[in-house]
Amino acid sequence: MAVLAFSPMAEQSTKVLLVSLMAPEDKAAIPLGSACAAAGLVNAGLLSKDEIHILTPTTDSPIRNILNRIMDEQPLLVGFSLYCWNSVPALELAGKLRALHPELLLVAGGPDAEALAEKGGGETFDAVFLGEAEFSFAQWYARTIVGLGVAAPMSSDPTAVLPHGAALIRPDPHLAGELPSPWLMGILTPSEGAALSWELSRGCPYHCSYCYEGRASSLVRHIPQSRIEAELELFVQAGVAEIFVLDPTFNIDRNRTLGILKILSSRAPRIGWNFELRAELLDTAQAEAFTQLYCFVQIGLQSSSPEVLTLNGRSFDAKKFVRGLNLLNENGVVFGLDLIYGLPGDRLAGFKKSVDFALSFSPNHLDVFPLAVLPGTRLRLESETFGLVYDTQAPYLLQSHPDFPVVDMKAAGHLAAALSCFYSRGRAVPWFGAVVTALRLQASAFLESFAPPLGWETMDQLEIEALQCAYVEKAFMSKGKAALVTAALDLIHFNGAWSRALAEGMRSVLELSYSLKDVEGPEILSLANFATQKPKRPCTVEVFPGAEGPRVRLIKQRRG
């Protein structure tokens, strides 16, 4: 490829335009990948931050509108961040841009750039960057546009070229201490009340076959504490409301974890924190440290079967996992769990067992995903060995494998939707265990007959509560347990009102069949005993938001 000199168009303010298409439901997300690439250019002294713009339209934006916005900037180069949720429209956009303006330099990076390397589909682009691109992008830019003749190698295979001529660049990972900060350089600016992503480390020591992290470097590189403290101060001063910590396993290093939690609790106690943890690595000190923050932790279970997880390159110690979750529950730390259905070696019955195992810990929510056979992962390379049939276009979802036929994938998908609607979005955590115990059902058996209506994804909690109550009443009636219905509905209504007061600041007036004292007490969680031992004492109560959490007021007590 010929080296380009700056043309008169380079006098325009925008020399590099980076495009990161956002999901419509996540339009306020931070384009961190693009910002890191921009930081690499600025750090190398090639451009000022004012010469780099980042465009973040949503994936449902009309392509013509995005093209017009791109050309309004008159850039020399346009870069695309590719992810499994945006690569289809992003590649369409890039293709149209290439056809309309062949003089532009186009590059691509991000996790789903692996698909271009796999398919040899780089005809749209001048270069495709795989893995970390802060330094490789800057080096390529210097050679191609500025003509500096940089000698440092950009890749372990610098001669790699896709069939249509695009340079394929996969650099070796850099030490975290060398990585420039897009926050401290002013490429990203935190704002008051914002929710943002914050990178604290790179690399993962685990090698799960289905995960992008598993195919990356196993060398865990932590962002230096000096940078962490400087960025944290920036977030605190800006009044950031919530931070999602990007660290595949935040508690991989116990002492570092405790040290960071101490810093966060002392300097940013009002920020809401989200972490990803490994349950097996939790201990009492960590669980107690999390209680000093307003935080939520997410834990990847994926399957409760050690055999399935081993087959997929993931270790699992059931005893340590249970101990870790019990520590979180004992300390009142809010957590959620992840499951995947369709993993090689798993069956529908095994997936249901995983659902039952996960819900036995009463997680705040349970996120369930179909297996995605992602380009660049070991699972993708071994897909024929496992007999995987999957979509060849992003997001590469599994259709079937010999142990998980199409009909079972559909059944698992239905259960996942029922679980998401009824349990997670319906905020059923406080009462779900009491209901299924009284019905003498496993959680998966209770949920698999629940059919979320069309559009349930946009329903609010109160609307879902009506569905829950109707379904629970029908379940008790079919089991010959009509005597428990009234207590179950009081339990559901009261906890639903409490959650709305906490989450939405909503005031609710409830007509309860039992006394407020009884509905608030722990005995109601044993529905069978409660219904036989407690007399009905109808009352009207108000549940409303308070300065320190939801409050309850008895409006009227009536005779039973």
Are 223 and 128 contained in the same domain?
no
Are 165 and 223 contained in the same domain?
no
- pLDDT of 244-253, one tens digit each? 999 989 999 9
Q: Tell me the CATH number at 158.
A: 3.40.50.280
User: Do the domain assignments include residue 498?
Assistant: yes
Residue at token pair 């997929």: 312
DSSP 49: G
User: Do the domain assignments include residue 326?
Assistant: yes
Enumerate helices (H) and strands (E) in the chain, giving the number of each: 21, 19
Pure H helices in 31-160 = 32-43, 63-73, 87-100, 113-119, 134-141
**CA 167/CA 519 separation, integer angstroms:** 66
**CA 502/CA 550 separation, integer angstroms:** 6
Tokens read off for 226: 């000096």
Q: Which of 120, 153, 176 is the last residue of a domain?
A: 176
Are 36 and 168 contained in the same domain?
yes
Tell me which residue of 119, 108, 89 sits closest to 375, measured CA to CA. Answer: 119
Are 432 and 313 contained in the same domain?
no
Are 353 and 492 contained in the same domain?
no
DSSP 542: E
Residue 166: band (very low, low, confident or very high) from pLDDT cuts 50, 70, 90: confident
- pLDDT of 47-105, one tens digit each? 999 999 999 999 999 999 999 999 999 999 999 999 999 999 999 999 999 999 998 99
Q: Phi/psi zone of residue 157: left (φ > 0), alpha (ψ -120 to 50 degrees), beta?
A: beta
**CA 433/CA 312 separation, integer angstroms:** 31
Residue 219: band (very low, low, confident or very high) from pLDDT cuts 50, 70, 90: confident
Structural domain tally of the chain?
3
Are 489 and 512 contained in the same domain?
yes
Q: Tell me: pLDDT of 156 over 70.
A: no
Q: Tell me: pLDDT of 150 over 80.
A: no
- pLDDT of 305-332, one tens digit each? 999 999 999 999 999 999 999 999 999 9
* Burial status of residue 193 (CB atoms within 10 A of its CB: 0-12, 13-18, 19 or more): exposed
Radius of gyration, CA atoms only, the chain: 26
**Cβ-based neighbours of 263, under 8 Å, separated by 6 or more:** 228, 229, 232
Tell me which residue of 232, 292, 280, 228 sits closest to 252, measured CA to CA. Answer: 280
> Is the Cα torsion angle 224, 225, 229, 232 positive or negative in sign?
positive
Strand 366-370 relative to strand 334-341, pairing: parallel
Q: Which of 370, 396, 416 is the last residue of a domain?
A: 370
DSSP 423: I
Are 54 and 131 contained in the same domain?
yes
Q: Tell me: pLDDT of 175 over 70.
A: yes
Are 335 and 446 contained in the same domain?
no
Domain that residue 298 falls in: 190-370
Are 139 and 27 contained in the same domain?
yes
**CA 515/CA 287 separation, integer angstroms:** 36
User: Do the domain assignments include residue 400?
Assistant: no
- pLDDT of 393-415, one tens digit each? 999 999 999 999 999 999 999 99
Q: Which of 121, 154, 176 is the last residue of a domain?
A: 176
Q: Tell me the CATH number at 320.
A: 3.20.20.70
User: Do the domain assignments include residue 183?
Assistant: no
CA 202 to chain centre: 17
Residue 216: band (very low, low, confident or very high) from pLDDT cuts 50, 70, 90: low
pTM of the model: 0.90
DSSP string, 400-414: EBTTB-HHHHHHHHH
Q: Tell me: pLDDT of 493 over 60.
A: yes
CB 40 within 8 Å of CB 28: no
Residue 217's pLDDT is: 59
Residue 207's pLDDT is: 86
| pLDDT, mean of residues 417-422 | 98
Q: Tell me: pLDDT of 275 over 50.
A: yes
Half-sphere exposure at residue 380, Cβ-oriented, CA atoms within 13 angstroms: 22
Residue 113's pLDDT is: 93
Q: Which residues of 497-528 are buried (b: 16+ CB within 10 A; e: fewer)?
A: bbbbbeeeebebebebbbbbebbeeeebbebe
**CA 512/CA 508 separation, integer angstroms:** 12
Residue 121: band (very low, low, confident or very high) from pLDDT cuts 50, 70, 90: low
Are 16 and 102 contained in the same domain?
yes
Are 24 and 74 contained in the same domain?
yes
CB 202 within 8 Å of CB 217: yes
